[in-house]
Amino acid sequence: MNKYKRRLFRKLVPIKQRLSRIHLRDGQTPLWLVLKKLIEEIDKDDLGPSANAVAFSFTLSVFPSIIFLFTLIPYIPVEHLDTQILELMGQVLPASVYKELSATIIDIVSRPRSGLLSLGFVLAFYAATNGMMSLMGAFNRAYRTIDRRSFLKTRLIATGLTGLLVFALVMAVVVVIIGNVVLKWLVNHDAWGLLNDDVSLFLISGLQYGVTFALFFVAISIIYYWGPAIHKRWRFFSTGSVTAAVLCILVTHFFSYYISNFASYNRLYGSIGTLIGLMLWFFLLSFIILLGFEINACIDEVQRDIHAKIKRRERKAQST
């Protein structure tokens, strides 16, 4: 075993030397030290279990969210919307499950129920804020700090950050949908043939992804700034928020492609496979957001260690 470790170490030495020559923007922080610290902290802070807890809380918010959306349907002025939704659910759900639930669903979507609407919204938002509070607790553990804010203040911050995250997700979906519609319209009404060029289509799609990235980037930056108990040292726009925003978009894109083309959740588990896929997506996003925060914390800790060493050398030089 030691022989294999020595071989691995010899192979990693050139990589370490290259990464040691790469410094962050301050010119004093080697990338190698940050990566080494990050690997240590991922294991020490149990990022996987923390992401599991956050994903579970967000998954719990799905069920009251569905109740909220169902009770919202009678208030939407679209003809035969309830019939269309019932037909869709009849295609998705197993026949036995749909037979048991159809009467209740018809009763919910056919008559306005303001009380149930309010209850569904409160339950959904409460479950989602629990997920955000789990995320904030993981931030404080990563930064080795005790949250001395009151329960009410923490809950209010979690509520605001949850609303921001939901808004960013909804707007990202809207941007993608509207972008596709606008792109099809432009292609169909392109009298001069300008959009037949692949480069033009690539630029328009790039603009669509750029807006989505900006939404995620700003939302994650705000969460990183206000989520932890200590945020005085943080820059609003940080390396971790850039990394997390990029990874969230990439993971969502590739995970959607994987689910559509390769995954067999529905064949193995039936309609509950959709819920499994959703929870896995929540886990990946939670892990990425925690990873971005760990990057910020590691950069800050490495920089403080380097500055402390520089000051010790200066004091030692002055004393001699």
Please report, to the nearest 10 degrees, the dihedral formed by the alpha carbons of residues 177, 183, 188, 190 taken in order. 160
Structural domains of the chain, count: 1
- 154: in domain: yes
Could you tell me the pTM of the whole model?
0.74
Task: Please check the confidence at residue 135 and state whether its pLDDT lies above 80.
Answer: yes
- 240: in domain: yes
Domain that includes residue 229, residue range: 34-57+132-308
- 151: in domain: yes
Let me know: does 122 contact 115? Beta carbons within 8 Å. Answer: no
Return the percentage of the chain with pLDDT > 90, whole number.
4
As given in the structure block, the two tokens for residue 21 are 């020559």
pLDDT digits (tens, 9 = 90+) for 298-318: 888 888 877 788 788 878 777
- 222: in domain: yes
pLDDT digits (tens, 9 = 90+) for 161-210: 888 887 887 777 677 667 666 666 766 666 555 555 566 667 667 777 88
- 264: in domain: yes
- Which of 47, 115, 109 has the alpha carbon at shortest distance from 81? 109
Task: Please check the confidence at residue 111 and state whether its pLDDT lies above 70.
Answer: no
- 221: in domain: yes
Which has the higher per-residue pLDDT, 149 or 180? Answer: 149
Distances in whole angstroms, Cα of residue 36 to Cα of each of 24, 41, 304: 14, 9, 16
Let me know: does 129 contact 162? Beta carbons within 8 Å. Answer: yes
pLDDT digits (tens, 9 = 90+) for 252-293: 777 766 666 655 555 655 556 666 777 888 888 899 999 999
- 147: in domain: yes
- Which of 277, 222, 225, 274 has the alpha carbon at shortest distance from 251? 277
- 79: in domain: no
Place of tokens 């169909």: 188
